[in-house]
Structure 1
Amino acid sequence: MREYKTLVIIPAYNEEKNIVKTVKDLQENAPEADYIVVNDGSADRTLEVVREHGFPYLNNLCNLGLFGAVQTGFLYAYENHYDVAIQFDGDGQHSAACIKDLVKEIAGGNDIVIGSRYVTEKKPWTKRMVGSRLISGAIHLVTGHRINDPTSGFRAYNADCIRDYATDINNPPEPDTLVYMLRKGRTIKEIQVQMNEREYGESYLNITNTIKYMGRMMISIFFVQPFRKVD
């Protein structure tokens, strides 16, 4: 198998207590991959910590949200001709040891590979998983394609998808746009990966944000993505 020039994109918002451990995991368990921290206008010391440790980074002067942060990374990957881009959370929940498995599936011909918690393991019936089940069901109704863990932020993309996400403002790396990518004929595969618990800080998705997020996802999956013009 040929070597694939790989960039790990690490969106980071207020991750001063998590970012060092996250990057050290990459350095130790995925040394073959390049990485870039995208500081998304953090209000804490994330940027200072990144600079102190000499980590490569991009800096958004204001908080653009997950989409803006990851798209900043995609644009960097596109401009620097990477073969594979890995979306990798800055909070330490993803395991760098699994990156080689995602890249292997890209090398096998897949366009998008999702690191999933629920390929060989069953999704629990918890309040936290209600949203994931609803989104998974909606995507299946619209496309006929079953994605077990559509909200996973641990994903790999090939060069064609890097271009798609870097150059189209209407393509945020969210579950709803998987509908559009499937309509474009992109192949999506899920593989089982290890996920860790966040040690510090709080998730962006509190109750209020979760309700807003779910509403936006449902509207987009049913009424926007199926009707977008496919290039």
Structure 2
Amino acid sequence: MDPSRRSGTLIIMPAWNESAVIASTIREIRETTPEHDILVVDDGSQDGTPAIAREAGAKVLVLPFNLGVGGAMRTGFKYALRYGYSSAIQVDSDGQHDPRDINKVLAGLQDSDISIGARFAGKGNYVARGPRKWAMLVLSKVISAVAKTELTDVTSGFKAVNVRGLNQYMEHFPTEYLGDTIDSLVVAVKSGCKVTQVPVEMRERQAGTPSHSPFKSTIYLARSGLVLCFALARKRTHRWDDFGLQGENPVEGGGSK
């Protein structure tokens, strides 16, 4: 990565077998927000995703086997802290997140530690139905009460964090299903991180098949309820301001750019 291009923000793209779409996603991001660096964390792909991502112009880290989104994002967060980025934003490799909204979500960090690109917040026409809709409504109501602010899309993967948020996620960012959204968010709030949301419009996957069958939606409902219960039962982790850090980076190579 060319240090002269760096804005201080790292775009982290977890990827698993996204060879059909990742090149076009990276190109669109580079055209829309050329000031930010892009890191693709390949999660054990077997379809040539890493080579395609490098050719498209992204920095690529390759995990030896599939860890899931949580494991890939922890790798990206560690990279961001090690190389002194002041913020990071997760962007899906499948094209669902509109690159035109990246800077809007990042702008939410002006007054918060975690900024969520949210559906159901007055923008876009994304529709959830059945058990999945019920789960999202319950999760949003409960976590909004914990965070003391209205959050309409707590399972969104389109989210940005500042240095305090990065350090919090390095301390607690589960790798299990839904842990990277619900569990990590609840613990971050309980540990003193401020959360906000920014309305965005999600797009359809540019390749692959989404899993929205009634059976999978029912499983989603059950698992999300369990994850929420475990998250609410967890004790808070260390608040970074408890140690007088005030947003500074205690990890090697820290500090803002």
- Shorter-chain TM-score bucket reads 0.7 to 0.9
1:137 to 124, 135, 141: 141
Tell me how far apart the structure 1 counterparts of residues 28 and 126 of structure 2 sit (CA, whole Å).
Answer: 26
Q: How does 1:138-177 map to 2 (within 5 A)?
A: 138-140=142-144, 145-168=149-172, 170=174, 172-177=179-184
Structure 1 87/213 Cα, relative in aligned 2: closer, same or farther at 3 Å? same
Distance 1:5 1:230, change over 3 A: same
Cα displacement (A) at 1:170:
4.4
Question: 1:187 offset after TM fit, Å?
Answer: 1.1
Aligned to 1:77: 80
1:182 paired with 2:189, answer yes
Report the AA paired with residue 77 of structure 2.
Answer: F
Which stretch of the first structure deviates more once superposed, 161-170 or 29-38? Answer: 161-170
Choose the corresponding residue for 1:216, options 194, 206, 223: 223
**TM-superposition CA deviations, 1:160-206 (whole Å, max 9, x none):** 11112124354853123221111122111111112111121123676
The 3 A distance-change label for structure 1 pair 185 and 148 is same
2:27 corresponds to which letter in structure 1?
A: K
* Partner amino acid, structure 2, of 1:51: R
Q: Which TM-score applies when normalising by structure 1?
A: 0.87
CA contact (8 A) 1:39 1:47 kept: yes
Give 1:38's match in structure 2, choosing from 20, 36, 41.
Answer: 41
The runs of 5 or more residues in structure 2 that have no matched partner are: 1-5, 239-257
Output the amino acid matched with 1:155.
K
Matches for 1:19-98 after TM superposition, within 5 Å: 19-98=22-101
CA deviation after TM superposition for structure 1 residue 142, in Å: 5.2
Q: 1:6 and 2:9 equivalent? A: yes
Aligned pair 1:116/2:123, yes or no?
Answer: no
Q: Distance in 2 between matches of 1:223 and 1:132?
A: 17
Deviation at 1:44, TM superposition (A): 1.7
Amino acid aligned to 1:6? T
Secondary structure of 2:150's counterpart equals coil
Q: CA deviation at 1:153?
A: 0.8
Q: Which moved more, 1:80-89 or 1:158-167?
A: 158-167
Unaligned runs of 5+ in 1: none
Q: Give every structure 1 segment of 4 or more consecutive aligned residues whose post-TM-superposition deviation is greater than 3 Å.
A: 51-54, 121-125, 140-146, 167-172, 203-216, 223-227
